[in-house]
Amino acid sequence: MVSTCLRWLSITVLIASLCTIELTGQENQDALFIKQIHNQILTEGSCYDWLTHLSEEIGGRLAGSEESEIAVRYTRDVLADYADTSYLQPCTVPYWDRGDEEVVKIINAQGNLTIDIGGLALGNSVGTGPDGIKAEVVEVKTLDDVRSLGIEGINGKIVFYNRPMDPTQIRTFYAYGGAVDQRVNGPAVAAEYGAIGTLVRSMTTVSDDNPHTGVTRYKEGGPQIPAIAISTNDADLLHDMLEKEVVDAFMYTNCRMVDEAKLSYNVVAEIKGSTYPDEIILVGGHMDSWDVGGGAHDDGAGCVHSMQVLETLMALDYQPKRTLRCVLFMNEENGLGGGRAYAEASAAKGEWHMAAIESDAGGFTPRGFSCDANDDIFPGFYRQLLKWNDLLEPYFLGFVKGGSGADISPLKGQNGLLMGFRPDSQRYFDYHHTAIDRISAVNERELKLGAAAITSMVYLLDNYGISKGDE
């Protein structure tokens, strides 16, 4: 009996000493703190409540709109409680208004079948005028198709861009990147060849009835024609009709550019670094969204992820060594006015952003971070990041090369590390730029795990720094 007790005692001591040995390592202190970050956010984090307010109480926050101004005030008020300083940084944004109605009808050759398919005007589009426009539809897959058809094939017609996002791409952002030129530049190119309007297949991987808006850009001084996105189901319907016969379309929208240069603001909140105040770590998302829906995934999620970093570090009594700055950028969607204004102000002050992390890929389950920097310094940065793989592996987080975020990309010249938060991307384009991008599309736990991933990365960057040399 005694010998059994002694044996158990010695085993207990052995286990305790093993635990002690493990816990003395810096890596285990880091592992413990990263776990505390996750515990704190999963049980006490406010990000989902903030996102509910942004998405449902305030709603879509197109740059220049009243909603965007309300969101600026709301987030600044929240952030003021978690930062040493908070301020509004002026920037110039376009203010485009959708108007009150969009009509798209397709009409068969005999004129005895008219189908009202509806749509969403593309951001920055001009209107059709009060009578709308009606013309024969010509379907194309690419901008080069338009160039090949030339004025003879395009003049006086409505060009229908109908190239789907590539379903075989595992990373859906690559599929988006491979298709989005139709929306961004398609109307301008069609206009050059005399088209009078454009219909664009929605940028999504699903077949459904939701049109997806998004920015289009005209060439400076070039012709401007109205552009409306139609759902993937309606694009397939129109395609099927065009296989059989000549089809006309009717388009109406009274959207318009209200103000090319309106005053707006980025929201900035900062905790000064205790040891290296001149080394800045930025975490941010974009405040503006499209006007339809609530901008929940795009990019309310990125805003509240970033706000959650500050709330969490305060709750855990963590005093950063480096200056930590949360930035909610204005006008990512249709101009990047906020990102440019931030970079210009930063350059004027001679700042160095050691690292900048942007969350603009939704509030889905975190996968890790994409990393970018100038070519000569990137390999050294990346090798340092990979040393943290063991700490991040329990959370299924890793690093990939390439890409960060649109708002922080103008900071690349400062020779720091740029990162994009990368959640699972399979459902992002179900909601992107639609009326259904609302809080109901966001899973609270997934959103919080994303905030915890970003906070963990901020902690590691702050605690260790990252150097241009390969230390």
Which residues sit at the interface with Zn ion, rule CB under 5 A? 298-299, 360
Tell me the HSE value of 227 on the side-chain side, using a 13 A CA sphere: 28
Long-range Cβ pairs for the range 460-463 (8 Å, 24+): 460/30, 460/34, 460/388, 460/391, 461/281, 461/322, 461/354, 461/355, 461/417, 462/273, 462/281, 462/320, 462/321, 462/322, 462/324, 463/30, 463/321
CA nearest neighbour of 457 among 299, 268, 272, 306: 306
Tell me the HSE value of 186 on the side-chain side, using a 13 A CA sphere: 29
Q: How open is the CA angle 131-135-140, to the nearest 5 degrees?
A: 130
By C-beta, is 61 or 448 nearer to Zn ion?
61
Closest distance of CB 360 from Zn ion, Å: 4
Closest distance of CB 207 from Zn ion, Å: 23
Strand partners, 103: 252
By C-beta, is 279 or 298 nearer to Zn ion?
298
Question: What distance in Å separates the CA atoms of residue 365 and residue 77, rounded to the nearest whole number?
Answer: 28
By C-beta, is 273 or 338 nearer to Zn ion?
338
CA nearest neighbour of 306 among 47, 59, 56, 35: 47
Closest distance of CB 294 from Zn ion, Å: 13
Closest distance of CB 50 from Zn ion, Å: 17
What is the identity of the amino acid at 340? R
E strand or H helix at 195 = none
By C-beta, is 162 or 434 nearer to Zn ion?
434
Closest distance of CB 298 from Zn ion, Å: 4
Closest distance of CB 286 from Zn ion, Å: 6
By C-beta, is 139 or 298 nearer to Zn ion?
298
Closest distance of CB 341 from Zn ion, Å: 17
3-state secondary structure of 284: strand
Q: What are phi and psi of 435, to 5 degrees?
A: -70, -15
By C-beta, is 102 or 298 nearer to Zn ion?
298
By C-beta, is 186 or 302 nearer to Zn ion?
302
By C-beta, is 30 or 332 nearer to Zn ion?
332
Closest distance of CB 73 from Zn ion, Å: 21
CA torsion, ordered 371, 376, 379, 380, to nearest 10 deg: -100
Closest distance of CB 425 from Zn ion, Å: 13
By C-beta, is 381 or 421 nearer to Zn ion?
421
By C-beta, is 189 or 336 nearer to Zn ion?
336
Which of 374-387 are b and which e, b meaning 16 or more Cβ less than 10 Å from the residue's Cβ? Answer: eeebbebbbebbee
What is the identity of the amino acid at 376? D
Q: How open is the CA angle 75-77-78, to the nearest 5 degrees?
A: 65
Closest distance of CB 328 from Zn ion, Å: 12
Distant-in-sequence, close-in-space partners of 225: CB < 8 Å, separation ≥ 6: 126, 187, 190, 191, 195, 196, 197, 198
Closest distance of CB 353 from Zn ion, Å: 20
Residues in the chain: 471
By C-beta, is 145 or 299 nearer to Zn ion?
299
What is the identity of the amino acid at 93? V
Six token digits for residue 16: 């305790």
